[in-house]
Structures are given as C-alpha cells and as structure tokens.
Amino acid sequence: MIAAVDASKATGPCIVYWTGRQGLSVKAHTYCGQSVSAADGVLQLPDDARLCVDCAAAVKRGEPVK
C-alpha cells in the first residue's frame, strides 16, 4: 500500500514523503515537493495505483524534490 494525498486533482494523488506537525497544524509533504494539510485526508492506495508522474519519478530516484 502507498500513502498518498490528493494534492493536485489534475495530476493524480501524490505520494507522501513526510507527515508531521508544523506549528498548530499537521502537514503532509509529497515526493514532488508539495505541502498540503493532512486534515484533508491521507489515502492508502494499492501499489499499482495511478499516481502523480513527478512523485513516481522522485521515488525511482530515491529522493524527494526539495
């Protein structure tokens, strides 16, 4: 299973790299460099799910976009 957030409706769900507290809110950072509110929901998707192309490329490289 893959942890993902629906950060960009156009590109598909983005793979979560880090989820944690920032100030008084909880944020999720994605492999493609986006930061979204984790309150919107973190999804569990199967390994063969269609995902953000930029996230998939960053996972193959082994490091997130900074």
CA distance 17 to 19: 7
Quick check: 9 pLDDT over 80?
no
CA distance 14 to 65: 12
- pLDDT tens per residue across span 11-61: 889 999 999 998 899 999 999 999 999 988 899 999 999 999 999 999 999
Q: Report pLDDT for 8.
A: 72
Q: Report pLDDT for 22.
A: 87
Q: Report pLDDT for 47.
A: 92
Say what the pTM is: 0.85
Q: Report pLDDT for 40.
A: 85
The domain spans of the chain are 2-61
